[in-house]
Structure 1
Amino acid sequence: MVSTAERKEYPISMRLPEADVAMIDRAASLRGRSRTDFVRDAAVRAAEEVVMEQGLIRMSPEGFADFMDILSRPAAPVAEMVELARRPAPWEPGYIPKR
């Protein structure tokens, strides 16, 4: 009796210019990954990003009104962000590195 196993992997074939393959290989090497692993991870991340952009947020009219009310309020300063914005940048005079 022959049993049919469910397929778990599907091949994808692409034709790419040599420069693209060289860039992919370089990046994969820097990450210590194979070309296949690198391309698969990059493609899945890009696909997840597109799918997440399309997600709907559903809420009741009352919930939406509350949401819009919160968005229309003036922003409250966050002390840590204010302090960070006032610090000189590393390339500016007066910069003192934190220890």
Structure 2
Amino acid sequence: MAQTVRRKEYPIAMRLPEADVAMIDRAAALCGRSRTDFVREAAVRAAEDVLMENRPIRMSPEGFAAFMDVLGGPAAPVSEMVQLAMRPAPWEVGYEPKR
């Protein structure tokens, strides 16, 4: 008896304006990928972002209290950030355009 194989890929059809398809094609070509692969990756990445943004974080009441204590405590300076904040802004430094 023949065994039925379950399909693991599902087609998705979309109607897009010509300008959108042209932009997708240009971007896919720059990445050296097919339109299908480019669109699939972009859609999966967008879906992952939405899911991660809406994922509930669960913790015990004790864990939450400890988390809030850390958030409410004093911030420790990050030396790289302090050095960056102390540097003059690019517009404050004498800028000479190349001639």
Q: TM-score, normalised by structure 2?
A: 0.85
Deviation at 1:22, TM superposition (A): 0.6
Could you list the structure 1 runs, at least 4 aligned residues long, displaced by more than 3 angstroms after superposition.
88-92
Structure 1: stretches of 5+ with no match in the other structure: none
Structure 2: how far apart are the matches of 1:69 and 1:89? 35
SS class of match (1:47): helix
Give the corresponding residue for 2:4: 4
Comparing both chains, which one has the higher relative contact order based on Cα–Cα distances under 8 Å and sequence gaps of 6 or more? 2
Give the corresponding residue for 1:60: 60
Structure 2: how far apart are the matches of 1:39 and 1:89? 40
Structure 2: how far apart are the matches of 1:91 and 1:20? 39
The two structures, once aligned, show a CA RMSD in angstroms of 1.7
Q: TM-score, normalised by structure 1?
A: 0.85
Deviation at 1:87, TM superposition (A): 2.5
User: Identity over aligned residues, as a percent?
Assistant: 78
Aligned residues of 1:24 and 1:35 also touching (Cα < 8 A): yes
Deviation at 1:57, TM superposition (A): 1.1
Residue identity opposite 2:2 in structure 1: V
Deviation at 1:84, TM superposition (A): 2.0
Give the corresponding residue for 1:85: 85
How many pairs are equivalent? Answer: 95
Structure 2: how far apart are the matches of 1:36 and 1:49? 20
SS class of match (1:23): helix
Structure 1: how far apart are the matches of 2:35 and 2:24? 7
Structure 2: how far apart are the matches of 1:50 and 1:93? 42
